[in-house]
Amino acid sequence: MTAILRNRRFLALFACCAAVLAVAAGCGGGSSSNGVPKGDVALVNGQPITKAQFDNALDQYNRAEKAAKQPTAKCCDAAYQIVVQQKIMPYLVQRTEFEQQAKKLGAVATPKEIDAAIKKIVKQYFNGSQAKFLAAVKKQGSTLPEVRDTVSLQVLQQNVTAKLTGNVKVTNAEALDYYNKNKSAYQKPTSRDLSHILVKTKAQAQSIYNQLKAGADFAKLAKKYSTDKGSAQNGGKLGVQAENALVAPFAKVAFKIPTGTISKPVHSQFGWHIIKANGPVIPESTAPFSQEKASIVQQLLQAKKGDATSAWQTKIEKFYAGKVKYASAYAPPKATAPGATTLFPTTAGG
């Protein structure tokens, strides 16, 4: 079962694209409309998307659907037309837009990078077995060239993101300013390392308390009697707990008893507790900037990278407004340029 799940996770890397882009092939030959040449289904900033590309997409989709025992796309009922107009054409247009703009940035996916990405997939999901990898590709109804095509797009996405965010930096002053403005987030409340044994009745709690006072082992009694199964298996250990996160009757006692001692039975809404203080009370404090700097820098860096890719996406959407033309059978309900969607890096990749 684990191997199957791993294969499914991998197949999502390419099957999702195949299933999305390969759902359609229009009926007829794509006659000229809106200035789209005969034999093409769309023009993206003057670059054609051909009927052959569209037909190939349908073929991929139908093979994947057949492998999954799902209905294939057949021309030309209403459901088919919805898939054509709302899924396939937007994908093909968006991919063309993306590749055009990636070229302007100088971003490419080299064969070496694609080979390395596929090798990583084979290692991660198929324990390095090329045979198992190819068998999974075949079972999905796909082919190795189609997998390479999808992986190449993923590599290109990563390289575009790297181009857009390569010069993004966070200064020490920016990190410190963020820390000062959000200092409350770095406050640590009064806390203490605690253990407890929880039972239902006062009588049982008193009996356990008496045994402990007589020298019984706290951890053994916790494992045997405590109804808090989460801590019981660890000998009653709760770990370091914030005072303000505990119910009041428990906290009131837990933060007063001396280190290394146990409390008399304490009643709360959960039952009767015997509490052990494993360490001293840790006073409320604020984590210093030096301790939090690395995480703050990483957080701000990711935000800046996201802003950079989002700004690029917005720029691309504006650029392609009015620059996409469709053959009549392929136009979406509202023939607007799809702009940059899932094909465009909207978050900064690692």
* Residues of the chain with confidence (pLDDT) below 70: 1-33, 334-350
Classify each residue of 181-200 as buried b or exposed e, where b means 16 or more C-beta atoms within 10 Å of its C-beta.
Answer: eeeeebeeeebbbbbbbbbe
Instruction: Name residue, tokens 């979406």.
Output: 332
Structure token digits, residue 127: 């324990």
Task: Identify which of 36, 34, 39 has the alpha carbon closest to the alpha carbon of residue 52.
Answer: 39
β-pair partners for 274: 197
**202-239 residue pLDDT tens:** 999 999 999 999 999 999 999 999 999 999 999 999 99
- DSSP per residue over 47-105, as a string? EEEEHHHHHHHHHHHHHHHHHTT-PPP-TTSHHHHHHIIIIIHHHHHHHHHHHHHHHHH
- DSSP per residue over 197-230, as a string? EEES-HHHHHHHHHHHHTT--HHHHHHHH-S-HH
β-pair partners for 65: none
Dmax (CA) of the chain: 95
Question: What fold characterizes domain 188-285?
Answer: Chitinase A; domain 3 (3.10.50)
Omega cis (within 30) before 75: no
Distances (CA, A) of 261 to 131, 193, 196, 281: 62, 12, 11, 13
In whole angstroms, give the CA distance from residue 266 to residue 273.
5
Q: Angle formed by the axes of helices 202-213 and 218-225, to 10°?
A: 160
β-pair partners for 191: 242, 282
- Would 2-168+300-330 and 188-285 be classified into the same CATH topology? no
pLDDT of residue 57: 80
pLDDT of residue 27: 32
pLDDT of residue 33: 58
59 and 74 Cβ atoms separated by less than 8 Å: no
291 and 10 Cβ atoms separated by less than 8 Å: no
pLDDT of residue 349: 42
- DSSP per residue over 102-126, as a string? HHHHT----HHHHHHHHHHHHHHHH
Question: What fold characterizes domain 2-168+300-330?
Answer: Triger factor/SurA peptide-binding fold (1.10.4030)
pLDDT of residue 154: 96
In whole angstroms, give the CA distance from residue 82 to residue 36.
21
> Would you give the end-to-end CA distance of the chain in angstroms?
30
Show me where the domains of the chain are located. 2-168+300-330, 188-285
Task: For the beta carbon of residue 293, count every other beta carbon within 10 angstroms.
Answer: 16
pLDDT of residue 5: 29
